């Protein structure tokens, strides 16, 4: 009976996942038949003429997640190293508790704070500096082109980096603490610095767990909705500048699903959700494959 109950619980997960996939594909049917592959390659989003393309939302989803990872991964690793190797014992618990509390803050709170505090600060103090700094540099001058809106893809990426930070930090800290003390003490005894111990001992020993934590944070960034909706600007277009307004798949669905009229409009939003599901699935599958290869390499 116990074996049957546990097996049923495991199968239930697969059934629910399959039901989600089938529902998304069924709801996306009218949009798929109407737009075909062009839904992925165009950025036109006009409910009046019922012309829809998800390229702008896909671009915004990928770029905001990339910005979040570029900021969040180094900061998270730095915090984890500080807590495990450099932090005074009396300070470890308060910092660890504060990081874990960040994960419990509702996403809408991040969005409100980002809209009323972070966005005005970036508009007045940070974005003008970035625009002036990178203006003479080809390529970067386009990425950081003005005017400073405050809200936009860059702001959304910063908010997402704050939201993924506790996940990556907590996992990385926990796996760093599994490194046997004898390995670190041996390295210190040979004259290694803290940086050398982290680079040559801790990271190789825990790379599987660290990658897993990063992928967990990336999955969080790809699917975040409310916080991004507040600060990204919700514009269905691809802009060369990350300071310009944009949108993500989840933000577009949250903004427009309640107002969607007509089967084609609703179907286009459902197809956007299907695309987000596929993107997340591919990312997590790639992470799993990477972890398997890392484990196989470690066993050799």
Q: Is residue 300 within 8 Å of residue 214, measured between CB atoms?
A: no
Q: Is residue 144 within 8 Å of residue 241, measured between CB atoms?
A: yes
Angle in degrees, CA 288, 291, 296, rounded to 5: 125
pLDDT number for residue 204: 86
Which residues in the chain come in under a pLDDT of 50? none
Kindly report, residue by residue over 103-133, the tens digit of the pLDDT. 888 889 999 999 999 999 999 999 999 999 9
Paired tokens of 231:
């600060």
Q: Is the dihedral of CA 235, 237, 238, 239 positive or negative?
A: negative
Query: First and final CA of the chain: distance in angstroms?
Result: 40
Q: Is residue 187 within 8 Å of residue 197, measured between CB atoms?
A: yes
Q: Under CATH, to which class is 2-299 assigned? A: mainly alpha
Paired tokens of 97:
């508790």
pLDDT number for residue 25: 92
Kindly report, residue by residue over 266-299, the tens digit of the pLDDT. 999 999 999 999 988 888 888 778 777 767 776 6
pLDDT number for residue 299: 66
Residue identified by tokens 């926990």 is 174
Kindly report, residue by residue over 234-248, the tens digit of the pLDDT. 888 888 899 999 999
């Amino acid at each position: 009976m116990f074996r049957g109950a546990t097996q049923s619980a495991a199968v239930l997960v697969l059934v629910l996942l399959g039901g989600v996939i089938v529902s998304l594909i069924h709801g996306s049917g009218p949009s798929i038949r109407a737009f075909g592959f062009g839904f992925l390659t165009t950025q036109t989003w006009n409910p009046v003429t019922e012309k829809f393309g998800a390229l702008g939302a896909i671009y915004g989803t990928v770029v905001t997640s990339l910005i979040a990872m570029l900021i969040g991964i180094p900061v998270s690793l730095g915090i984890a190293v500080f807590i495990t190797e450099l932090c005074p014992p009396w300070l470890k618990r308060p910092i660890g508790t504060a990081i874990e509390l960040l994960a419990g803050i509702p996403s809408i709170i991040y969005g409100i704070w980002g809209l009323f505090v972070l966005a005005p600060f970036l508009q007045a103090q940070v974005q003008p500096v970035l625009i002036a700094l990178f203006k003479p540099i080809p390529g970067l001058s386009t990425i950081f082109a003005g005017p400073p809106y405050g809200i936009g893809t860059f702001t959304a990426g910063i908010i997402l980096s704050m939201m993924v930070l506790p996940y990556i930090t907590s996992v990385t800290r926990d796996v760093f603490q599994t490194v046997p003390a004898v390995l670190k003490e041996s390295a210190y005894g040979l004259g290694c610095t803290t940086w050398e111990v982290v680079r040559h001992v801790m990271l190789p020993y825990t790379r599987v767990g660290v990658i897993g934590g990063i992928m967990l944070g990336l999955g969080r960034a790809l699917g975040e909705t409310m916080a991004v909706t507040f600060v990204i600007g919700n514009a269905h277009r691809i802009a060369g500048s990350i300071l310009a307004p944009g949108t993500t798949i989840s933000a577009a669905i949250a903004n427009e699903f309640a107002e969607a009229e007509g089967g084609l409009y609703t179907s286009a939003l459902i197809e956007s959700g299907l695309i987000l599901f596929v993107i997340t699935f591919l990312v997590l599958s790639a992470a799993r494959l990477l972890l398997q290869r890392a484990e196989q390499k470690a066993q050799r």
